[in-house]
Amino acid sequence: MIKFPIYLDYHSTTPVDTRVVEAMMPYFTKVFGNASSKSHEFGWKAEAAVENARKQIAGLINAESPDIIFTSGATESVNLAIKGIADAYAPKGNHIITTKIEHEAVLDSCKSLEKKGFDVTYLEVDEFGLIDLKELENSINEKTILVSVMYANNEIGTIQKISEIGALCKRRKVLFHTDATQAVGKLPVDVIESNIDLMSFSSHKIYGPKGVGALYLKSKFPKIRLTPRVDGGSQERGFRAGTLNVAGIVGLGKACAVAREEMGTETTRIKELRDRLYNGIISGLPEVKLNGDPGNRIANNLNITIKNVNSDSLLIAIKEIAISTGSACSSESVETSHVLKAIGLDDKHKHSSLRFGLGRFTTAEEIEYVIDKVVEKAKKLRDISPLFRVTKEGEYAGF
């Protein structure tokens, strides 16, 4: 039996897995000590829990546990990485390279640095959302201190060639940061193999609690310098002061442990549901375009343009289904998606695009319902649209 509303917005956030909740519970009421308290058992147990979570997280991404720095989430991790590197390496250079389809956390951090005199190059992407590696290499100069490229895009799901980018940065002796918020826990991420120097990610995207995230910060070969963004204590190797969110950190650790164990089977199941959703929609509706790379994308992502159907009108018509038109962090903005613009969609098509995000608790029954409703309501909206009609030959004609 289907439970309404149907949630298909797993890119924006995920429900906390009950196994994660169970792991966290003791740290609210029983093991409630401050992990920085070194003089008694309450603090020792809290510290032990934090270090165990650090190991669980490191195990998921093939890192050393001391290289995991806890933060409040991916946005803080991104700010710490980009601004921290900029401040620490300013004597060496003032040039940063990123892309036009990054999350706002990256783009706004770079814009903030531009106001302070830094030079930022924003790489173009192709129609699938991929950067050109030759353009990246040609953009690197003697003043380049950092390259920041998103691992998997939060709107269209495209996965960048991270290992090749990491190898290029290593060869050119430039630090490499990736926002892996949509990749960690969904893809087999290996920071060593991919030559990643800094990596940001968040708990609530992988069935953990909100309010906690991490920054992977490579500590050797080479040891990376970073200027802290928060002062007031020596926690997290001095990079992030403040009392640690022990319960949240335990939740993030458990979420990573579950992901490490179940990622393979979970990805296969979600991909099958995602493909069923797409095939069901295109079999019932003409003039539907897939946005992003057809093959090189995360399994839970489906971003489509249903031509001559206003996406906001469709969302109202299917209000029992929770989906979005783009990033949750920009959904309150009247501006259309910068990601869809970067891959070449014009304003009409951007206003006809939807993002479906599937997840751990998505069922086949829900997908069948969504297919039927999207097709039904989109057809009705087209019937009243002056821009969409059937030709004498029986074919659909739209913009």
Residues belonging to the active site? 329
Q: Give the whole-angstrom CA distance, residue 8 versus residue 5.
A: 9
* SS3 category, 145: strand
Encoded tokens for 331 = 């959904």
**Beta carbons of 307 and 399 less than 8 angstroms apart:** yes
Q: Give the whole-angstrom CA distance, residue 320 versus residue 335.
A: 25
Single-letter amino acid, residue 245 = N
Q: How many CB atoms lie within 10 A of CB 82?
A: 27
Give Cα 183 distance to the centre of its chain.
6
Q: Give the whole-angstrom CA distance, residue 7 versus residue 35.
A: 36
* SS3 category, 200: strand
Q: Give the whole-angstrom CA distance, residue 180 versus residue 150.
A: 6
Q: What 8-state DSSP symbol labels residue 297?
A: B
Q: At what angle do helices 246-284 and 41-61 cross, to 10 degrees?
A: 30
State how beta strands 198-202 and 288-290 pair: unpaired
Return all residues near 86 (Cβ < 8 A) that are at least 6 apart.
94, 96, 113, 116, 118, 145, 146
Q: Give the whole-angstrom CA distance, residue 43 versus residue 53.
A: 15
Q: At what angle do helices 246-284 and 364-383 cross, to 10 degrees?
A: 50
**Beta carbons of 327 and 236 less than 8 angstroms apart:** no
Phi-psi label, residue 51: left if phi above 0, alpha if psi -120 to 50, beta otherwise: alpha
